[in-house]
Amino acid sequence: MSPTFDHVTLGQRVLFGSGRAADNLAAEVTRLGARRIMVIASPSEVPVAQEVTKHIDGTLFHDDVAPHVPIAKAESARAAAAEHSIDLLVCVGGGSTTGLAKAVALTTGLPIVAVPTTYAGSEATNVWGLTEAARKTTGVDDRVLPVTVIYDAHLTLSLPVELSVASGLNGMAHCIDSMWAPRTDPINRALAAEGIRALAEGLPAIKNDPQNLRGREQTLYGAYLSAVAFASAGSGLHHKICHVLGGAYDLPHAQTHATVLPYVLAFNAPAAPEAEHRIAGAFGTDTAVAGLDALRVALDAPRALKNYGLDEAWIAEAVELILPFVPDSNPRPVTATDLEALLRAAHAGETPVL
């Protein structure tokens, strides 16, 4: 039977080139005709941001950034943008920095130029997230999609191997979740499969040699593909779990995704043979679970949520928080018992069970 689907490709300019970030940013500022620029970067990323923005005149540097975008941080940034009559947002950093820029764009409609320094992928999606009273809310709005993304692998060279691994596996989670997310289709599955292949090639190269620029370029490429696939396919079971855990218990974003991923894959794979076969093919292994497991062993990937701040006593509450957000389209029905078993195994770092 011929495939039938409805696919939307998001409109975005992507500039990719190692060592070219500052020049590419200056060219984009000129192209967009921006005159009052707000540069958003966390305190640790300010030196990188200063280098990237050396050819432009930034009106305001804003470094009040925190994971999961607390609503108070968003309101502060929005007020700063209004006070200085900002007409362009430039964010330099990881997912938290991009997330804050999106929070400003959500209410102001200001354009964003994103310059990622990690493999988070948020820069290529129209998904936003805000945390208030320990609950994370996410949504979709085209206003938050950066108009331009500037990728420069040189900017990731200082990212420690452990964070590179966790961030890259966050990208891998975007790819795998896209195989069975609510709006999945043949186009975003193809992008996700290529993303898996690129990440599986690039991350071990970084692990073996942190200064391997080719490995970092492949990983950036894979992270971009993962985000484009995710933006089209939507949030699957994996992301619903991780968004709740991150917002409710302030767990680190990338490490949480990296830890939970093998458990969701092992849970869903038997019920989604076509997706499982495609994932396995991208890894070049007999099964999807074997491919991800081999990669995680090679990378010495994060293994247990207890190592990242999740108290076992919180699991029962987490199950109740997650259950209402489980997508109806998940390949396998999800019960409270299933979620509890998955979270307990991920908390302890036990071997995922099919």
Encode the chain in three state secondary structure: CCCCCCCCCCCCEEEECCCCHHHHHHHHHHHHCCCCEEEECCHHHHHHHHHHCCCCCEEEEECCCCCCCEHHHHHHHHHHHHHCCCCEEEEEECHHHHHHHHHHHHHHCCCEEEEECCCCCHHHCCEEEEEECCEEEEEECHHHCCCEEEECHHHHCCCCHHHHHHHHHHHHHHHHHHCCCCCCCHHHHHHHHHHHHHHHHHHHHHHHCCCCHHHHHHHHHHHHHHHHHHHHHCCCHHHHHHHHHHHHHCCCHHHHHHHHHHHHHHHHHHHCHHHHHHHHHHHCCCCHHHHHHHHHHHHCCCCCHHHHCCCHHHHHHHHHHHHHHCCCCCCCCCCHHHHHHHHHHHHHCCCCCC
pLDDT digits (tens, 9 = 90+) for 172-198: 999 999 999 999 999 999 999 999 999
Percentage of the chain modeled with pLDDT above 90: 89
Greater pLDDT, 135 or 106: 106
Domain count, the chain: 2
- Among 141, 156, 171, the domain-final residue is 156
Q: Which residue has the higher pLDDT, 9 or 336?
A: 336
Same domain, 242 and 227: yes
Residues of the chain with pLDDT > 70, as a percent, come to: 99
The mean per-residue pLDDT over the stretch 224-250 comes to 93
Same domain, 241 and 338: yes
264: pLDDT strictly greater than 90: yes
Q: In the listed set 156, 178, 195, which residue is the last one of a domain according to the structure?
A: 156
The answer to whether residue 1 scores a pLDDT higher than 60 is no
- Residue 250 pLDDT > 50, yes or no? yes
pLDDT beyond 70 at 2:
no
- pLDDT of 163 > 60? The answer is yes
Is position 4 within any domain?
Answer: no
Query: What's the mean pLDDT in 32-61?
Result: 94
Averaged pLDDT, 137-143: 92
Q: Clarify whether residues 228 and 93 are in a common domain.
A: no
Residue 223 sits in the same domain as residue 139: no
State whether 286 and 263 are in the same domain. Answer: yes
**5 domain residue, yes or no:** no
Residue range(s) defining the domain that contains residue 289:
161-348
Check whether residue 188 and residue 298 sit in a common domain: yes
Given a cut of 70, is residue 238 above it in pLDDT? yes
Same domain assignment for residues 81 and 111? yes
Domain contains 144: yes
Q: What is the per-residue pLDDT for 59?
A: 84
**pTM for the model:** 0.91
How sure is the predictor about 33, in pLDDT bands with cuts at 50, 70 and 90? very high
Q: Kindly state whether residue 279 falls inside one of the protein's structural domains.
A: yes
**What is the average pLDDT score of the chain?**
95
The answer on 190 and 115 residing in a single domain is: no
**Per-residue confidence (pLDDT) for residue 73, from 0 to 100:** 97
* CATH number for the domain that contains residue 89: 3.40.50.1970
Quick check: 353 pLDDT over 80?
no
